[in-house]
Amino acid sequence: MNVDKAKKRIEKQIKKGFKGYPLVSLAYFGKTPNTATEVVVTFTLEEGAEPQTQKLVSENDAREDETIQSVLVKTIERTNANTVTEVAGVSLIS
């Protein structure tokens, strides 16, 4: 899937706001605020349930990595997520 198309599909889901569970949350991490080399995907099936996490790592910016963005879209689709959230910006890895 084209990286721009994947990013648009993810952004569309995020803009919907909270619609209940299941919930997928995306957080980007990197050594600088301009480059995200890791994405942590958190899946929560229902309120109070133990969240499941998965970390995806890229040598370059994960936000521009076609494979990672496609995996994120497929994860959202396969989990039937009603809500998708994203932590703004890139959190620094210490």
- Given a contact cutoff of 8 angstroms between Cβ atoms, the answer to whether 34 and 17 are in contact is no
What is the residue type of 89? G
Average pLDDT across the chain, whole number: 96
Check pLDDT > 90 for residue 14: yes
Which whole-number Å values give the CA distances from 36 to 6, 21, 56, in the listed order?
Answer: 17, 27, 11
Measured in degrees and rounded to the nearest 5, phi and psi for residue 43 equal -115, 125
Place of tokens 């229902």: 46
Please compute, for residue 86, the number of CA atoms within 13 A of its CA located in the half-sphere on the CB side: 17
Which pTM was predicted? 0.92
Per-residue model confidence as pLDDT tens digits over 44-74: 999 999 999 999 999 999 999 999 999 999 9
- What residues contact 74, with CB distance under 8 A and at least 6 apart? none
pLDDT over 80 (residue 94): no
pLDDT > 70 fraction of the chain, expressed in percent and rounded: 100
Q: Sorting pLDDT into bands at 50, 70 and 90, what band is 29?
A: very high
